[in-house]
Amino acid sequence: MTTNGSEMDASIIRGMTQPRITRRDLFKTAGAVAGAAGLSSGLSSVAGALPNSNVGSKTWWASQQVHHQLNFANWPYYIDTVSGTHPSLVEFKKETGINVTYSEVIEDNPAFYQRIIPSLSAGGSTGYDLIVMTNNSPQLGYLIQGGYLIPLDQTAMTNFNKYASPTVKNPVWDRGNKYTMAYQSGWTSLAYDANKVKSPGNSLSLMFSTKYKGQVGMFADPIELGAIGLLAIGVNPASSTPSDWSRAATKLRQQRDSGIVAAYYGNDYINHLKNGDLAISQCYSGDIFQARVNGSKNLNLLTPKEGLLFWTDNMAIPLYAANPRDAMKAMDFYFSPLTQAVVEYYVDYICPVPTAKNEMLKPTGWDKAALAAMKAEVGLTSTQVASAPTIFPTAAMNAISKPYYQFKSQTEIDTWNETFLPIVQGQ
């Protein structure tokens, strides 16, 4: 439907969402969803309700053996690569004898969740021992709350305890790192094409500028879209309220209806930026760094005064995984500064191990050969990568990092989606 004026929108949305909320409420009272009010706060308490409540306990872990086999599901372009092989996985095999089947099958959180949940809810293995999910997506919360992740062996996290950055230790979405360890973090912000945007300024208000009508790309993911909308109206997403959400939605709707937004994108926004179809786009920090390395020097990451949205992709072991011990070993291996130096040199997101910076500058072991082997493909010196504030953030950058809103119930997720989804759907 075409709508003018936000008042009308709000009433229509309320009107059309009312029956659904009622239905969900009914459903909840029927008790089929266990404790929907506890996505973040009551995480640990839910595990007790698991059918396999023994899984992940100390005695259970004590009986888990290395099978020399690991099925690792990850996102595309998210691991060190040189002519088709992954040096860190080669080294992992050398050190542990574990053979890794690495699949780049995760392209967004909800779709991957849809792929694995039928087997998980039927009590079967997903086929993966290690998966990577983003903290800002409700799906990671669903996995934890549904009891679909194996609690980690806290005694097998040596590197993590020693080297992990404070930004990923004991995070708000998984207190005590009971189920997850970070893989990479990143920022969501705006990117601009310096050939088209001569004076970008230092504010998110750039994305509302009528000067770039039809040339601004936004994310289709309602979580990302809503969060940057909140930041842009000067609200910290983490402490926002539903009334802030609708104010942000109003602003984003205006942006759309005045023709500023070209389209709402998934991961393909970066091609449109490179092709010159967009002057400004919501972006992930690592993509912009990689695009610059690959020749698009005109693309820049905006560091807005309102802040940068900080997210983390987390490694976790899905329930019924065949090789949990192997997965545990791999997770800790990725917290060695040597491994992270190699991964980060290629991946260019925010490194969860700050000391990997020194390692990148002065390699002390197997990473030396791996870094040298990748140099031609990466095309940057290790000094250039190590000194990038988007990879090893400065204190100032960390200070303006803003976390996402932490959903406390399914009702909140529904409300959020019903606030921001219609904008993307063209309603």
Name residues whose C-beta falls within 8 Å of residue 97's C-beta, 6 or more positions apart in sequence: 66, 68
Q: Which stretch binds another protein (CB under 8 A): 97-105, 180-188, 259-267, 362-370?
A: 259-267
Measured CA to CA, the distance from residue 315 to residue 330 in angstroms comes to 10
Residue 16 engages another protein in binding (rule: CB under 8 A): yes
Residue 262 engages another protein in binding (rule: CB under 8 A): yes
Provide the minimum distance between the beta carbon of 150 and another protein in the complex, in angstroms, as a whole number: 17
Supply 165's token pair: 């950055």
Of 129, 153, 221, 306, the one binding another protein by CB under 8 A: 221
Residue 138 engages another protein in binding (rule: CB under 8 A): yes
Residue 242 engages another protein in binding (rule: CB under 8 A): no
Measured CA to CA, the distance from residue 106 to residue 315 in angstroms comes to 12
Supply 342's token pair: 């190699």
Measured CA to CA, the distance from residue 98 to residue 66 in angstroms comes to 8
* Element counts in the chain: helices (H) and strands (E): 18, 10
Residues of this chain, 313-352, that bind another protein according to CB under 8 A = none
Q: How would you class 30 by CB atoms within 10 Å of its CB: exposed for 0-12, middle for 13-18, buried for 19 or more?
A: exposed
C-alpha pair distances (Å), 103 with each of 52, 100, 107, 129, 300 = 27, 9, 11, 11, 30
Of 27, 49, 57, 387, the one binding another protein by CB under 8 A: 27
Of 132, 207, 220, 248, the one binding another protein by CB under 8 A: 220
Note whether 291 and 268 are within 8 A (CB): no
Task: Determine the longest span between alpha carbons in the chain, in angstroms.
Answer: 64
Residue 17 engages another protein in binding (rule: CB under 8 A): yes
Residues of this chain, 77-136, that bind another protein according to CB under 8 A = 108, 110-111, 113-114, 117-118, 121
Residue 194 engages another protein in binding (rule: CB under 8 A): no
Interface size with another protein, residues (CB under 8 A)? 52
Note whether 232 and 251 are within 8 A (CB): yes
Residue 297 engages another protein in binding (rule: CB under 8 A): no
Residue 142 engages another protein in binding (rule: CB under 8 A): yes
Provide the minimum distance between the beta carbon of 262 and another protein in the complex, in angstroms, as a whole number: 5
Binding residues for another protein, per CB under 8 A?
Answer: 1-2, 12, 15-17, 19-20, 23-24, 26-27, 30, 32-33, 108, 110-111, 113-114, 117-118, 121, 138-139, 142, 145-146, 214-215, 220-222, 256, 261-264, 268, 271-272, 275-277, 410, 413, 417, 421-422, 425-427
